[in-house]
Amino acid sequence: MSSVTSAAAEQPAPTTGPDGRPLTDTRRAELLDSLNEAVRQPERFGGPAAVVELLDALAAADPDGDRSPAWTPGTDAPTVSALLRGSFGDADPPLVASQYGEDAHRRGWLRLDRTLSGEELRALLDRALDWSEDSRRLAEVLAEFGDPSVVYGDPAPDAPKTLGYAGGDREAPVVAFHFGARGVLYAVRIGENPLGDWALTPAGRKLFD
């Protein structure tokens, strides 16, 4: 997958760090590098807490951003991910990481491996839910929709993971496909509104019920 420059490069650099001291361009670049590695494979970098620390450090120094901990995915939060957490076993960590990644994307901090065009994203939004109501596997999703914008979790084909698909418009919905072991698709969601667009596959329904 090719590396695509994120919209983060277009954002004004934060002026101070979480300790109130100036945040240099070099240090900000280091934080962004660390975030983009850690959010993809949190278990290699200290778990979800390490991702939260990086998000906090960037948010505290962002003069135009919301400094509230919007990325804290508590199980009582009214989101689709919160409803799904605890149902999919080993697929839970990538699911949580996808929440952090989507918040980072909205703030311009996530570097996408692929940026969908507006037309590509609209086509995906139109088809993803209906298409995912049948039993699906990782290879089928990749064949149907192409390489993702970001992979959360172990990239090995048989490992649990979440694939995220996003466009250049950071306010546009993000589509997430949640996979269990052996590349079995459990669920797909568009955004986080529990009353909005999300669907379980037959394999996901067995675990969720």
- 86-99 tens-digit pLDDT: 656 677 788 889 98
- What is the mean predicted confidence (pLDDT) over 38-66? 83
Partner residues linked to 200 by β-bridges = 187
Give kind and range of the element (H or E) at residue 131. helix 118-131
Q: Residues with Cβ < 8 Å from 34, sequence gap 6 or more?
A: 45, 54
User: Kind and range of the H or E element at 188?
Assistant: strand 185-190
Percentage of the chain beyond pLDDT 90 is 45
Output DSSP code: residue 138.
H
Instruction: Report angle CA 164, 168, 169 to the nearest 5 degrees.
Output: 100
Q: How many CB atoms lie within 10 A of CB 76?
A: 6
- CA atoms of 75 and 99, how far apart (whole Å): 12
Longest dimension (CA), the chain: 53
Strands 161-165 and 197-200: unpaired
103 versus 71: which is more confidently predicted?
A: 103
Contacts by 10-18, CB closer than 8 A, 24 or more apart = 10/108, 11/64, 11/107, 11/108, 12/63, 12/64, 14/58, 14/60, 14/61, 14/62, 14/63, 15/61, 15/63, 16/60, 16/61, 17/57, 17/60, 17/61, 18/56, 18/57, 18/60, 18/61
Is 0.85 topped by the overall pTM?
A: no
Q: What is the mean pLDDT of the chain?
A: 80
Tokens 């609209």, residue? Answer: 122
Q: Is residue 3 very low, low, confident or very high in pLDDT (cuts 50, 70, 90)?
A: very low
β 161-165/175-179 pair status: antiparallel
Using the predicted structure, report yes or no on whether residue 112 has a pLDDT greater than 90: yes
Owner of token pair 């570097």: 111
The residue among 112, 146, 114, 115 whose CA lies nearest residue 128 is: 146
